[in-house]
Amino acid sequence: MQSKRKVKILVVGSGGREHALVWKIRQSELVEVVYAAPGNAGMHTIAECVPIDVMDIEGLVKFAKDRSIDLTVVGPEAPLVAGIADRFQQEGLLLFGPNKSGAQLEGSKVFSKNMMNAAGVPTAKHEVFTEVAQAKEYIIKSEPPFVIKVDGLAAGKGVIIAHSAAEGIEAINGILSGHSFGDAGKRIIIEEYLEGEELSAIVFTDGENVLPLVTSQDHKRAYDHDEGPNTGGMGAVSPSPLVSQDDVAVIVNKAIVPIIREFKHRAITFRGVIYAGLMITKKGPMVLEYNVRFGDPEIQAIIPRLRSDIVPLLFEVALGEITMDSLSWDARPCTAIVMASKGYPNEYEKGAVIEGLEGVNTSEVTVFHAGTKFNQEGKVVTNGGRVLAVSALGDNLKDAQQKAYQAIEKIKCDDLFFRTDIGEKAIRGCEHV
Ligand code: AMP
Ligand code: GLY
C-alpha cells in the first residue's frame, strides 16, 4: 500500500461475517469503494452489491479485472476450497485467503487430522472409514458417545454426536450411502469424545508470521442451555473468560504455529486466517477442527472491538508480509446474538418481513445482516437460515449481553427465533471448568 491512491476492495460473501468485514473496511480512510458479491440487504448503504455468486469464480475474476479491484477478501470457505485464490493469482489479482492446497485444512477433516498428527498438535484420537461394515464394527466394539465427522464441507452440519451404537450406525449409514452429505461424506472420521469448554482462537498469518485476534466463544447449539442440533453458531462473545490473552499466545504456539510450520514443510504457503476450534479439557487444550476463514458469528463479536484499521493488515497478509506485531483493541467485551429463521438448522421459510430495524444501531450496537434481501416493495425480508446478528459492546459481559437483548426487542419478525442465554456461560465464568 505504498501509493496514496485510495483502494477498491471486493468482499466475497453474503453472510453476517462479510457484513462485519464490509462495515470495518468501509471505515478505513484508505478505501475508495467496497463491493460485495453478492452481499445482502444490510450492506447496501456501505457497499455496492453485485449479483455474482460466491462460487462463480470466473465471474469474480472478470469483475475484479474490469473494476481494477486492488484486493479481494473472501469470506466463506467454499470458494477457497474450490481454488479461488489460485485463479486470482494466475491472473495477477491480489486476494486475501489461502490457496486450494492450504484450504484443505478446512475442506477435508482427514487432511486436517493428518496435519495435526504430523505437526504434533493435541487432538482427539480418530479413525478414518469409507466402508459401512468397518465403521459399524468399530462402533459396536467401542463406548458411546461417538463423534462422527463427514470428511468434506458440510456447512457446519457435518459433525454428529451419537449417544448410542444404534444412533451411530444410523448416522454412518446415512453418510456413507451418500444420502446425508453427498460426496462430502465419502469418508468419515470417528473420534474420541472430548469434554470441556469450547474456545475459538483466530489468527492472521502470511505463512510465516502470526497475529492473533482477541478470543471469542461461540454457541453452536440451536437452543438455550446448549440443547438441540448443532448450527453454524447462534451467538458469540468476545473475549472468552476461559483464557487470558497470555494463554492465547501459548495456545497459538501449540495449536496453530506447528500447522504453519507443517505447511511450510509441505511447500504450501498459507496466507489468510487460521481459526482453531478448541476444546479446553482437563488435560489441556485440544483442537477439534480448523477453519481457513473468520468464524461466523465470532467475527461479529470481534470486529466491533478492533480499533486498528483492518485494511493495511488485509493487504499485508495477502502480500505475504505482515509487519505489524500487534493490533489495537477496545477493552469492552462484545456480545453478538444471532436471529435465525424458525426451523433452522433444518427446513425454514423465507420471505418474512423484518420490521423495526431502523434506529437499532447506536455507537455500541450494530446489526449485521446475514440472510436478508429486499422484497419487491423494498422491505427487508428473511432470505436464509441465520438472518441477523445483533452485536453490542458493553462495560462488561453482562452489560454487553443486556444491550444486545434490548436491541433485539426492537426487531419485529414472527419468523425469527434466537437463544436467550448467549453469553450466560461467559458471565458465570464457566465455573464448572
Ligand atoms: P467441528 O466442526 O469439528 O468444530 O465440530 C462441531 C462441533 O461439534 C464442535 O464445536 C463441538 O461442539 C462438537 N465436537 C466436535 N468434535 C468433538 C469431539 N471430539 N468431542 C466433543 N465434541 C465435539
Ligand atoms: N461459528 C463457527 C464457524 O464459523 O465455523
Kindly report the CATH number assigned to the domain that includes residue 167. 3.30.1490.20
Total domains, the chain:
4
If asked whether residues 351 and 301 sit together in one domain, one would say no
Residue to substitute in 153, 200, 289, 302 for testing ligand 2 pocket (most ligand atoms within 8 angstroms of CB)? 200
pLDDT at 225: 94
If asked whether residues 315 and 205 sit together in one domain, one would say yes
Give the C-alpha distances (Å, rounded to integers) separating 231 from 151, 162, 207, 304, 368.
17, 16, 30, 23, 18
pLDDT tens sequence across 192-205: 999 998 888 999 99
CATH code (residue 357): 3.90.600.10
In whole angstroms, give the CA distance from residue 287 to residue 229: 21
pLDDT tens sequence across 354-386: 999 999 999 999 999 999 999 999 999 999 999
124-136 mean pLDDT: 90
Residue to substitute in 127, 159, 227 for testing ligand 1 pocket (most ligand atoms within 8 angstroms of CB)? 159
Is residue 154 very low, low, confident or very high in pLDDT (cuts 50, 70, 90)? confident
Name the closest ligand to CA 16: 2
In whole angstroms, give the CA distance from residue 156 to residue 273: 18
Cell numbers standing for residue 154: 458440510
| Residue at 119 is within a domain | no
pLDDT at 181: 84
Cell 443486556, located at residue:
402
If asked whether residues 286 and 367 sit together in one domain, one would say no
Domain boundary among 57, 83, 99: 99
- The per-residue pLDDT of the chain, averaged, comes to 94
Phi and psi at 412, nearest 5°, equal -115, 120
pLDDT at 251: 93
> Residue of the nearest CA to atom 5 in ligand 1?
159
Question: Of 83-87, 152-156, 345-349, 411-415, which range is least confident?
Answer: 152-156
Domain boundary among 84, 99, 114: 99
Give the dihedral of Cα atoms 300, 301, 307, 310; nearest 10 deg. Answer: -30
| Residue at 110 is within a domain | no
Residue to substitute in 106, 151, 161, 296 for testing ligand 1 pocket (most ligand atoms within 8 angstroms of CB)? 161
| Residue at 187 is within a domain | yes
Is residue 431 very low, low, confident or very high in pLDDT (cuts 50, 70, 90)? very low
Q: Is the pLDDT of residue 3 over 80?
A: no
Residues 6+ apart with CB under 8 A from 141: none
Is residue 1 very low, low, confident or very high in pLDDT (cuts 50, 70, 90)? low
If asked whether residues 29 and 44 sit together in one domain, one would say yes
pLDDT at 122: 96
Q: Which domain holds residue 69?
A: 7-99
**Which atom number of ligand 1 is nearest to the Cα of residue 192?**
19
Residues in contact with ligand 2 by the CB-under-6-Å rule are 156, 218, 232-233, 291, 295-296, 298
Cell 448410542, located at residue:
164
